[in-house]
Amino acid sequence: MRDFQRQKVYNAEREWRKEIGEYPKLELLEIEVLATKMLRSRGINCPVKIRPGKGNRRATANFRWGWAELTFPIWSRTLPIVVHETAHIVAWKAAGGGHGPTFCRASLCLVRDYIGLTQASLLQTYYTKHRLIVSEAQEAHRNRKSHIEARLKISL
Ligand SMILES: [Zn+2]
């Protein structure tokens, strides 16, 4: 399936990151601990492998052989990017890869729990501004393959 919301998510999150300001760089080990904790909190118990991403331009997330594989080039080793990549793994379990409605919901939940409520409502505002479709709350990790989608107006 085409990753139909990808560019919109990138645009929305770029504006959001500009507004919430700079976050300090994390060590790869800190990222591993953090990503593992985030996944556990969403009911996902897979092992996590963090790669340094030398020569990669982009941070990436893959779910392979039961492992979450996250790649973080140096520029990307900050909390907001760790949340983005980890949200891919959370959404993967329910809906596969990409930046669809399930990804957006997972991202909002992780931002709320690991960055803060203020930053989460701000991100919600940018998702709405960029006309992103966001799944219903809880759908991201409870109803696999659910087709329930809704414009984001529900509380987090
Ligand atoms: Zn992404």
pLDDT in tens, 94-113: 888 899 999 999 999 999 99
| Cα distance between residue 135 and residue 138, in whole Å | 8
CA–centroid distance, 88 to ligand 1, in Å, is 7
Q: Is residue 39 situated within a structural domain? A: yes
CA–centroid distance, 154 to ligand 1, in Å, is 23
Whether 48 and 39 have beta carbons less than 8 Å apart is answered as yes
Burial class (CB within 10 angstroms; exposed 0-12, middle 13-18, buried 19+) of 91: buried
DSSP 136: P
Q: How many residues comprise the chain? A: 156
pLDDT digit string (tens) for 29-38? 999 999 999 9
Instruction: Identify the pLDDT of residue 150.
Output: 37
CA–centroid distance, 106 to ligand 1, in Å, is 12
User: pTM of the entire structure?
Assistant: 0.86
Domain encompassing residue 144: 6-151
CA–centroid distance, 81 to ligand 1, in Å, is 9
Q: Is residue 32 situated within a structural domain? A: yes
Q: Is residue 96 situated within a structural domain? A: yes
CA–centroid distance, 22 to ligand 1, in Å, is 19
CA–centroid distance, 13 to ligand 1, in Å, is 10
| Cα distance between residue 154 and residue 104, in whole Å | 13
Domains of the chain: total: 1
CA–centroid distance, 113 to ligand 1, in Å, is 19
CA–centroid distance, 72 to ligand 1, in Å, is 12
Pick out the chain residues at pLDDT < 70: 1, 138-156
CA–centroid distance, 14 to ligand 1, in Å, is 12
Which residues on adjacent β-strands are paired with residue 68? 48, 63
Instruction: Identify the pLDDT of residue 1.
Output: 64
Q: Is residue 20 situated within a structural domain? A: yes
CA–centroid distance, 102 to ligand 1, in Å, is 12
Q: Is residue 156 situated within a structural domain? A: no
Instruction: Identify the pLDDT of residue 138.
Output: 65
Q: Is residue 1 situated within a structural domain? A: no
What does the H/E/C string look like for 8-69? HHHHHHHHHHHHHCCCCCCCHHHHHHHHHHHHHHCCCCCCEEEECCCCCCCCEEEEECCEEE
- Name the strand (E) or helix (H) holding 134: strand 133-134
Whether 88 and 72 have beta carbons less than 8 Å apart is answered as no
Q: Is residue 134 situated within a structural domain? A: yes
